[in-house]
Amino acid sequence: MTAQPPFKRIALIGLGLIGSSLARGIRQLGLAGELVATDASAEVRARAAEIKLADRIADDNASAVKDADLVIACVPVGISGAVAQSIGPHLTPGAIVSDVGSVKASVLRAMAEHLPANVHFIPAHPVAGTENSGPDSGFAELFSNRWCILTPPEGADTAAVEKLEQFWSALGANVEIMDAGHHDLVLAVTSHLPHLIAYTIVGTADELEDVTRSEVLKFSAGGFRDFTRIAASDPTMWRDVFLANKDAVLEMLGTFQEDLSKLTRAIRRDDGEALFEHFSRTRAIRRGIVNLGQDEAAADFGRKHTALTKKAE
């Protein structure tokens, strides 16, 4: 652990998978002199206190952010504006305020209007997760070798951006800085559309009259199992994501439907060459993801972050 933590006090608002993982990583690495956390749910706050997730569990957002020099809202994007409104008057001048939502342009607009000019608002998106949620689901290694995208608004303080970048790097993340609108378009392709497809396929399987639910569960092949894992993600979070990023999602969904129509025609016309060419191209993309180290044999929750351990020593 470092002799002088980079932050005197960090406040976390929301203790689901991301918030509880941040809490564990922050404490393990000694990134804060004091860690204060809170959650809208009294039950979650009680459980967080029971497992000592933070140095102090606050009863509300206002008391949680008092004197904090880093505040991270770990909440569904649909309530990010309300959270900003609840903490705005209580923030310390010079504090860094961030979030972890997977939509950035709408969050930036929703939160910025409620935050005072004397704080540094730097939205962020750690591209990491599992299908689990709640204060017991987090683990410090969640961000290991995963990307965290920062989307600072125009005119953001360079020193504050660098400090937040160092914070995420210390947690094991690879940090990228990106325009908020471009982030939303990229994530519509890489995350939001795949989730929408997974929800649709699992829902379709559940509605088939000629296939019983027990058969779907019993004979699930690898592909369907992967879809069920994705479709098991927090419904509140994903409802908010699709509504907040609807323009980019609809654009990508239109492109997907065009490609699906091409494959439909190829199958109908027995065009094996077209199918083979398409599958070969997509296989190359998969290999590229593996080569970049963004997937491995172990599931996300099985990863070990050796660098994290070394830094904590």
Model confidence at 302, pLDDT cuts 50, 70, 90, reads very low
* For residue 53, pLDDT beyond 60: yes
Condensed to tens digits (0 to 9), the pLDDT of residues 211-264 reads 666 666 666 666 677 777 777 777 888 888 888 888 888 888 888 888 889 889
Number of alpha carbons in the 13 Å side-chain half-sphere of residue 154: 2
Model confidence at 187, pLDDT cuts 50, 70, 90, reads confident
* For residue 157, pLDDT beyond 80: yes
Condensed to tens digits (0 to 9), the pLDDT of residues 10-21 reads 999 999 999 999
Model confidence at 311, pLDDT cuts 50, 70, 90, reads very low
Residue 248: predicted pLDDT? 85
Residue 307: predicted pLDDT? 39
Task: Please tell me the least confidently modeled range out of 42-46, 175-179, 210-214.
Answer: 210-214
Distance CA 288, CA 294 (A): 9
Residue 145: predicted pLDDT? 92
Condensed to tens digits (0 to 9), the pLDDT of residues 139-153 reads 999 999 999 999 999
What tokens does 286 get?
Answer: 């998969």
Q: Cα angle vertex 229, ends 18, 194, to 5°?
A: 85
Distance CA 271, CA 249 (A): 30
Distance CA 259, CA 244 (A): 25
Q: How much is the CA Rg of the chain, to the nearest whole Å? A: 21
Residue 10: helix, strand or coil by DSSP?
strand
**DSSP code for 94:** T
Residue 167: predicted pLDDT? 98
Distance CA 229, CA 197 (A): 12
